Structure 1
Amino acid sequence: MKLVDDFKDFLRDTVNLNQTRITQLSDRVETIKSFLRASDWEPTISGFIEQGSWAHDTIIRPVDGGEFDADLLVKVRDVEGWSAAQYVKELGRVFLASGRYADKTVVYDYCVTITYADDCKIDIAPLVMDREYQGTLEVCNKREDEFDESQPVEYTRWIREKNGYSGNNSFRKATRLIKYIRDIKKRFSCQSVLLTTLIGHRIEWYDKDSSAFTDTPTALQTIMGRLDDWLQARPDKPTVLNPSLMSQDFAELWNDIQYANFRNFVNKYRNWIDEAVEAPTRSDSIEKWRKVFGDEFAKGENVKKAEDSAVRQALLLLKEGAAHLDTLVDTVIDFGINVLPLAFRSPPHLQAPRWQPAETVSRNVQVTAEYRSSGSTGRGHRVNSGERLPPRGGLWFDVRINKFQTVPGDCYVRWRITNTGAVAMALRKGRGGFEKPTDGDRRWEALEYRGVHMAEAFIIRRRDDRLVGYSEPFYVVIK
C-alpha cells in the first residue's frame, strides 16, 4: 500500500527541516552578509548566491543529533594579483578576527565554515567572477591554490526543471526521503550533490503529468527503480556529469568501494520499497515501510518490527558472554545501528574507565574515521559510524571536541577498542580495553574480523589524571 497520507505526515513531522530552523538559518545568513559587507575583506562583493540543499529545497532535518548545513557563495570581483588560496585565507582571517564569529570559525579548502552551538553550520565560499574572461565564475581551492570553474545558478535551474517535470514537488520530496534513508541507515556514502544529480538524471521531460509521479510514494518507487536499473547495468563506477558543467564528474566523490556499496544498498532498498507498496494490508505495509525508514514512519501505529527477532536472539548470547550471532551483523547491515539497544554497548569483556571523573565530564566529544588500504598510505576517505566495511585495510580514528576543535595540550587521549563477533571472540581478540594513540591523538585499527565493533575516545587531564570527556561509540561494521 502507498499510504499517501502517512507520507505527508512523515515528511512534515520527521524529514523536512522545520520552519523555525529555516527562519533562523535565513536570519543568520542575512547577518553574515551584513558582516561581510562591512568588513575589511578586500574583494568587492557583487552579490550572494545560495547553493546546495538549502537552495534546492532538498534540505532535511538532522538525524541522531547531526547537523544541517547551508552553502553561501560570495560573488566577488577579481582582485589583481590574488591567488585562489588568498581569497579563502583572507576570508577566514576576517571571521577569525571577529568577536562574533572567532570561536565558531574553521577554514577549509574551499570555504569558511561557521558552526553554531545548535545543529547548524554555514559554509561561506568566495566565487570569483570575470577573472579569465567576461562571464566566468570560479570557486577557490586553497589546498591546490587553483581556481575551479563553477555554474551554481545553472545547476539550481536544472534542479527546478527536473522538479517541474516530476510534478507535485515530487523530485524534491523523493530526494529528501532518499537522503533520510542515507542518514538514518548509515549504510552507504553519497554526498548530497552527487545523490541529487543521480536522482535528477532519472527524470525526463516526458514524465510530466505521467502516472509514474502521481504521489510521493509512487515517485519514490519510480526513482529508486530507475536508479537501481541504471546502477545494476554498471558494475564499475560510472561517470556522473555535472549537468551545468560537463567537465566535472561528480562520481569522483566516490571510490570504488563506496560505489559498490551504494549500488548494493540501492538495490536492497528498491526491493523493500516495492514490497511495501505491494503489501496487502495497512499493518503489513507500515511494517515494510518501517523497514525502509525506521519507527518514525506512521509513528503511533502498533505493528511489529521486522528486526526484533534477530536482535533479541543475539542479545541473549551477549548476556551469556558469548560472541554474537552472524545474524546480528546482517541485521545491522540491513537496518542500521539504531536497532542496537543500549545493552549492546556493555559486553562482559568491556573494561570500565580507570580514571576518576573530573568535576565536569563533557560528552561533546566526537570520533571520526578515515578508511585507508594501509596505515602508511596517502589520503583515504571518510566513513560514517555504522557504515559497512570490507575485512581489509583499516581505519584511522581521530577525535574532536565541540565538533571541530582539537584536544587541548593539557589533556591526553586513550582509545577503548571493543571487538565482538564470533571470529574475534574465538581467536580471543574480543578486546574491550584501553589503547594508546598510534600517532598524535589518532589510533590505527586494521579491519579483520566480521562483527559489529566499537571505538570510543576518552580524554584525560594530565595534571590530575581525571576524566574530562568521552565520546559516543563509533560503530565499525565488518561484513
Structure 2
Amino acid sequence: MKHVDLFRNFLNDEVNLNQTRVDSLETSIDAIKKFVRESDWEPKIVRWVGQGSWAHKTIIKPVDAGEFDADLLVMVSPVEGWEATNYIDELYWEFKASSTYGDMVRRYSHCVTISYANDKKIDIAPCVIGRAYAGSIEVCNRNTNQFEKSAPEEYTSWLIQRNTWSGSNSFRKVTRLIKYLRDIKGTFKCTSIMLTTLLGERVSAFDQNSANVADTPTTLKTIFDRLDDWLQAREVKPMVSNPCLYGEDFASDMTQDQYANLRTVIHRYRGWIDDAFAETDRSESIGKWQRVFGEAFAKDVVLEEAVEVSKTAVASARQVFGAIADTSGDLVTLLGRFGAQVIPRGIRNLPHMRRPTWQVSPTPSMSVVVKAELYASRGFNKLRDINSADILPPGRWVQFRATAANGLPLIGEEYDVQWRITNTGRVARAHNALRGEFYPSDTRGYRWERLEYRGVHVAEAFVIRKRGNIQIGKSEPFLVAVE
C-alpha cells in the first residue's frame, strides 16, 4: 500500500529540515554575506549562489540530531596576480580576524567553513568568473593551487527540470527519503552529489503527468526500481558523470568494493520497497515500510494500533455474541469472558512488529511449533505447561521452546532460532515496552520471558538457515495473556 498521507507526515515530522533551522540558516547566511561585503577582501563580488542540498531543496534533518551542512558560493571577478589559493586564504584571514567568526572558521581545499556548534556548518566557496575565458566559472583548489571548472547553476537547473517532470515536488521528496535511508541504515556509502545525480538520471520528460510519478510513494518505487536496474546491469563501477560539466566523475572517489556493496544493498532495499508497496494489508504494509525507513515511519499510527487492540476485540465480541453482550473491560477481560475467538486476527501482524531483514524461502521446509511452560522464577520451580491464550499471573516466568511439528527439538549447528516478542496494550505502552523486535535464543531454540504487563502479548519463533541467511520456518503466534 502507498500510504500517501503517512509519507507526507513522515517527511514533515522526521525527514525534512525543520523550519526553525531553515530560518536560522537563512539568517546566518545573510549575516555572512553582509560581513564579506563589508570586509577588506579584495575580489569584486558579482553575486551569491546557493549550492548543494540547500539550493537543491533536498536537505534533510541530520538523523543523529547533529550538524547539517549548507554550501554558499561567492561569485567574484578575477583579481590580477592572484592564484587559486589566494582567494581562499585571504577570505579565511578576514573571518579569522573577526570577533564574531574568529573561533568558528576553518579552511579546507575549496572553501572556508563557518561552524555553529551542534547546529550547522556553512561552506563559503569562492568561484571566479571569466578568468579563463568570457563566462567561465572556476572553483579554487587551495591544496593544488589550481582553478577547476564548475557549473553549479547549470546543475541546479538540471535538477529543477527533473523535479518539474516528476510533478508535485516528488523528485525532491524522494531524494530526501533516499538520503534519509542512507543515513539511518549506514549500510552503504555514497556522496550526496553522486546519489542525487543517480536519482536525477532515472527521471525523464516521458514521466511528466504519468502514473509512474503520481505521488511520493509511487515515485519512490519508480525511481528506486530504475536505479536498481541500472546498477544491476553494471557489475564494474561506472562513471557517474556531471550532466552539466564534461569529464567530471562524481564516482571517482568510490572504490570498486564500495560500489559492489552499494549495488547489493540497493537491490535488497528495492525488494523491501516493492514488497511494502504491493502489500494489501494495511498493518502489514506499514510494518514493511518500517523495515525500510525504521520505526519513525507512521510511529503515531503504529502506537495507536498496538494500544487499541481491545477496541477491535469489542467489535468482534459484539459481532459474535450480539449487541447486548457484556463487552466492558480490556482484551484480557474479554478473553476470560468469551474465549480466544475475541482475539483480533490483526494481533498477528501489528505494524510495530519488526519484519524480517533476512531472506524468506518461498517454500518453507520446516514446520515450527512453539511450546511453553510456566515457572515461578527463571529456571526454577516449574508450575505447569501452558497453551496459547492462557491467562497467566504477572511476576511469573515463561520458557518458550521451538520444536519441529513432531515435537522433537530443533538441533543442528546449521540453524538459528530468532524470537519475535511483541507486547500490546496500554500498560506496556505506558512503560515504553511494546517491543516487537527480534531476540536470539537463550539456549538453542529456547527463550525466557518474564510476565510483567497486563495485556495479550505474542511470541513467535523464526528458524533461519545460517548458510545463505534464509528463513526456512516460522511458528504460529503463541499468545500470552497477563492478568
Correspondence for 1:245: 245
- Which residues of 2 match residues 397-412 of structure 1 at below 5 A? none
The aligned length equals 321
Note the alpha carbon deviations across 1:284-338, whole angstroms, 9 max, x for none: 011110011001000121323326999xxxxxxxxxxxxxx9989xxxxxxxxxx
Give the corresponding residue for 1:14: 14
Query: What residue in structure 2 maps to residue 203 of structure 1?
Result: 203
Q: How many angstroms does 1:118 deviate by?
A: 2.9
Question: Residue 147 of structure 1 aligns with which residue?
Answer: 147
Question: How much is the aligned-residue C-alpha RMSD, in angstroms?
Answer: 2.5
Q: Percent identity?
A: 53
- Residue 98 of structure 1 corresponds to which residue in structure 2? 98
Equivalent-residue separation in structure 2 for 1:36 and 1:211 (angstroms): 48
Separation in 1, partners of 2:201, 2:356: 37
CA contact 1:194–1:253 (8 Å) conserved in 2: no
The one-letter code sitting in structure 1 at the alignment partner of 2:354 is A
Cα separation, partners in 2 of 1:231 and 1:327, compared to 1, 3 Å: farther
Deviation of the 1:265 alpha carbon: 0.9
Residues 81-132 of structure 1 show CA distances to partners (whole Å, capped at 9, x for unaligned) of 1111111111111111111111111111001111102321100000001101
Moved more, 33-42 or 90-99: 90-99
Residue 306 of structure 1: aligned partner: 354
Deviation, structure 1 residue 239: 1.1
Q: AA paired with 2:198?
A: L
SS in 2 for 1:246: coil
Is the Cα–Cα contact under 8 Å of residues 52 and 193 in structure 1 kept in the other structure?
yes
Q: What residue is the counterpart of 1:50 in the other structure?
A: 50
- Paired AA for residue 124 in structure 1: I
Check whether the contact 2:66–2:118 (CA below 8 A) recurs between aligned residues.
no
Q: CA separation in 2, counterparts of 1:262 and 1:104?
A: 35
Q: Distance in 2 between matches of 1:74 and 1:327?
A: 58
Aligned to 1:166: 166
Q: Which residue matches 1:373?
A: none
Matching of residues 338-349 of structure 1 within 5 Å: none
Alignment correspondent of 1:231: 231
CA contact (8 A) 1:287 1:306 kept: yes
Structure ID, larger Rg: 2
Q: Distance in 2 between matches of 1:170 and 1:74?
A: 30
Write the letter of the residue equivalent to 1:251: A
Evaluate the alpha carbon distance shift between residue 83 and residue 170 of structure 1 in structure 2; reply closer, same or farther with a 3 A threshold: same
Where do residues 182-193 of structure 1 align in structure 2 (5 Å cutoff)? 182-193=182-193
TM-score, normalised via structure 2 length:
0.64
SS of the residue corresponding to residue 252 of structure 2 reads: helix
- Who is 1:27 aligned against? 27
| Structure 2 residue aligned with 1:435 | none
AA at the equivalent of 2:159? I
1:253 Cα deviation (Å)?
A: 3.1
Residue in structure 2 matched with residue 296 of structure 1 by the alignment: 296
Question: Which sits farther off after the overlay, 4-13 or 60-69?
Answer: 60-69
1:337-364 CA distances to partner (integer Å, 9 max, x unpaired)? xx9x9x99xxxxxxxxxxxxxxxxxxxx
- Matches for 1:459-474 after TM superposition, within 5 Å: none
1:141 to partner: Cα distance = 0.6
List alignment gaps of at least 5 residues for structure 1.
311-324, 329-338, 345-479
Cross-structure match for 2:67: 67
Judged with a 3 Å threshold, the aligned counterparts in structure 2 of structure 1 residues 105 and 275 are, in CA distance, closer, same or farther, namely same
CA deviation string 1:261-298 (max 9, x = no partner): 11111111110000001112111011110011001000
SS in 1 for 2:9: helix
Distance 1:306 1:37, change over 3 A: same
Q: For 1:103-182, list aligned pairs within 5 A.
A: 103-182=103-182
Matched with 1:41 is: 41
Contact 2:63 2:183 in 1 (8 A): yes
Q: Which residue of 2 aligns with 1:83?
A: 83
Contact 1:74–1:126 (CA<8 Å) still a contact in 2? yes
Q: Matches of 1:125 and 1:11 in 2, distance apart?
A: 30
Q: Secondary structure at the match of 1:99?
A: coil
Displacement of 1:42 after TM fit? 1.3
Equivalent position SS for 2:248: strand
Structure 1 position 214 matched with structure 2 position 262: no
Partner of 1:194: 194
Query: Is the contact made by 1:45 and 1:77 (CA closer than 8 Å) also made in structure 2?
Result: yes
SS at the partner of 2:297? Answer: coil
| Contact kept? 1:191, 1:253, Cα under 8 Å | no
Query: Following the alignment from structure 2 to structure 1, what is the Cα–Cα distance between the partners of residues 86 and 170?
Result: 42
Structure 2 SS opposite 1:253: coil
| AA partner of residue 279 (structure 2) | A
Q: Provide the secondary structure at the position in 2 that maps to 1:241.
A: coil
| Cα displacement (A) at 1:233 | 0.3
SS of 1:159's equivalent in the other structure is helix
